[in-house]
Amino acid sequence: MPETTPPSPATTEEIQETAHVQQTAVQHLVAQEATLEESAIGKMSAGDVQCSETAIGLLRARSATLNDSIVSMLAARQAFSDESITAVLVAARQVEAPRVETKILLAREVRGNVTALLDTPTALLAGAAAGAVFGLLAWLLRRR
């Protein structure tokens, strides 16, 4: 029988002080500190979270340590991993992992090898180019 200490059935406004989730599926979790092992979480807000072999849909945290875990969308001040970070979207001040695999990476500081479709400098360049094109089109259409 897996050891599980799930959060109490709290409303989304109630914040758990600590949560240890092991081999469990949770739809929505809010905690100051959380340790997740071999679990699946739909949506999570946490101060500090440590994940091991866990899948998370949406993770918002002050600090996230991901080991052998997958996150769809990650928003954090700091994101760390001993192995790799795999996500669709990573938005963080600091990302540190040997390998970061994501579609969209928005980070101030990155340490590790990055594979991203869209990173911060590319996003800024694409936004500036789109703004210039739309501005030029608006100016040309007004001249008629």
Instruction: Give the other-Cβ count within 10 Å of 30's Cβ.
Output: 20
- Both tokens of 96, joined, read 């540190």
Which range is least confidently modeled, 10-14, 124-128, 131-135?
Answer: 10-14
pLDDT value of residue 14: 54
CA atoms within 13 A on the CB side of 115: 8
Question: Whole-prediction pTM value?
Answer: 0.74
pLDDT for res 30: 92
| Res. 15 pLDDT band, cuts 50 70 90 | low
- Span 52-81, pLDDT tens digits: 999 999 999 999 999 989 999 999 999 999
Compare 5 and 69 and report the one with higher pLDDT.
69
Say what the pLDDT of residue 10 is: 40
Q: How far apart are CA 16 and CA 84, in angstroms?
A: 28
